Amino acid sequence: MSDAGQSRSDAGRGGGAPGRGTAGQDASAARGCPEHQTAVASEEERMKQRLACIGHKIVVLSGKGGVGKSTVAVNLAVALAEQGMQVGLLDIDLHGPSVPKMLHLEGWRPEGHDGGLLPVDFTANLKVMSIGFLLPSDDQAVIWRGPRKYSMIRQFLADVEWGELDYLIVDAPPGDEPLAILELLGDIDGAVVVTTPQQLAITDVRKSIAFCRELGCRVLGIVENMGAFVCPHCGGTVEVFGGRGGEALARETDVPFLGTIPVDPAVSIAGDSGRPYLLAKTSLASAEAFRAAIAPLLAL
C-alpha cells in the first residue's frame, strides 16, 4: 500500500471505511470504556493544539441544501487568499462533500505526518482538506448514527495538521452536524449564512440564524446566492427566484447583509470544471460580489 493509501487507512481507524453497519451502535457502547475515554481526551488535546495555531475560524452554513453553500465557501476562501492571507478550507460535509470536485481534487488522498494528516496545498497560501478524501469512492454513502458522526468530526479536527493559518473556512453540512462542529471548534469568530432569494430557503435559513444565536455563535452576515440574472445581451435584469429575500431577512434578523451573487452560468461551469470561479473570472459582477463579501471577515 502506498504512503497516501496508508494515511487514508490510518485516518479511518476505529471504524474502517464509512458505510452501512452498526458503527453508531458500537460508538455508543464504547463511550463508557476507559480506553475510549482516554482516546477521546487525547483527540481533544490534539484538536486544541492544532486549532490554537489558527487566527480566525469561520463556519459557512445554511439551513437548506442546494443553495450554493460550498460554492460560496470555496470562493470566500480564494478571495481571502488573494489578499495574502494564509487560509485553510475544511469540507466537513459527511454526506455530500463537494470541495474535491470543485477544486479538481477527486481521488486525492491525504498524507500522514507526525501522527496527523497534511492538507493539500491548493495554492501557495490556500490549504484544503475534505472528508471526501477519506471515502473509498465518490459514490460511497455514509450511513452513520449521530454518535459515530460526532466521533468522526472530532477525530478529523484533531488529525488535520494545518500549521499557522490566518483563516479557517469550514464548509458545514445541512442537518445536525453543524451543532457538533460549533461545539468542537469552540471559540469561533462566527458564521456566514448562505441563502437564495426563495421564501422556502429563507424560512430554513431563519432557523439557522436562530440556531447560531442559541449556541452563542455570532452571525457575521448573510450571502444571497443566485440572485438576479443579468442578460449578457441586453443588460436587463430578471429576478429568477424572487427579489431580495436575503436582504430582507438580514434586516428582519438584524444581521449584516454581505451581498448578492448573481445567477451566473460561469459560476456553475467553474465548479463543475474544478477551477474556482474567482481564479477563472476576475472582473465580472459575480467575482466582485464574492470579493465584497469578505470585507467583514478581513475586519475581524
Q: DSSP for 174-219, please give it.
A: SSSHHHHHHHHH-S--EEEEEE-SSHHHHHHHHHHHHHHHHTT--E
Low-confidence spans in the chain with pLDDT less than 70: 1-40, 138-142, 144, 175-176, 235, 281-283
CA distances from 11 to 54, 128, 142, 243, 257 (A): 22, 16, 15, 45, 38
| Residue 212, pLDDT score | 92
The pTM score is 0.82
Asked whether 195 and 62 are in contact (CB, 8 A), the reply is yes
| Residue 248, pLDDT score | 92
Ranges of beta strands (E only) in 31-156 are: 54-61, 87-91, 111-113, 116-118, 120-123, 126-130
Asked whether 262 and 268 are in contact (CB, 8 A), the reply is no
Distance CA 90, CA 38 (A): 26
If we measure between CA atoms, which residue out of 151, 149, 118 comes closest to residue 133? 118
Burial of 7 (0-12, 13-18, 19+ CB in 10 A): buried
Distance CA 43, CA 110 (A): 18
Strands 237-238 and 219-230: antiparallel
Which three cell numbers, joined as nine digits, stand for 3?
Answer: 504512503
Looking from the CA of 134 toward its CB, the CA atoms found within 13 Å total 31
| Residue 176, pLDDT score | 64
| Residue 1, pLDDT score | 39
Distance CA 50, CA 297 (A): 21
Distance CA 88, CA 300 (A): 16
Task: Fold for 3-298, please state it.
Answer: Rossmann fold (3.40.50)
Distance CA 300, CA 298 (A): 6
Q: What are phi and psi of 224, to 5 degrees?
A: -95, 115
Domain spans of the chain? 3-298
Asked whether 169 and 89 are in contact (CB, 8 A), the reply is yes
| Residue 7, pLDDT score | 39
CA distances from 144 to 133, 177, 280 (A): 18, 12, 37
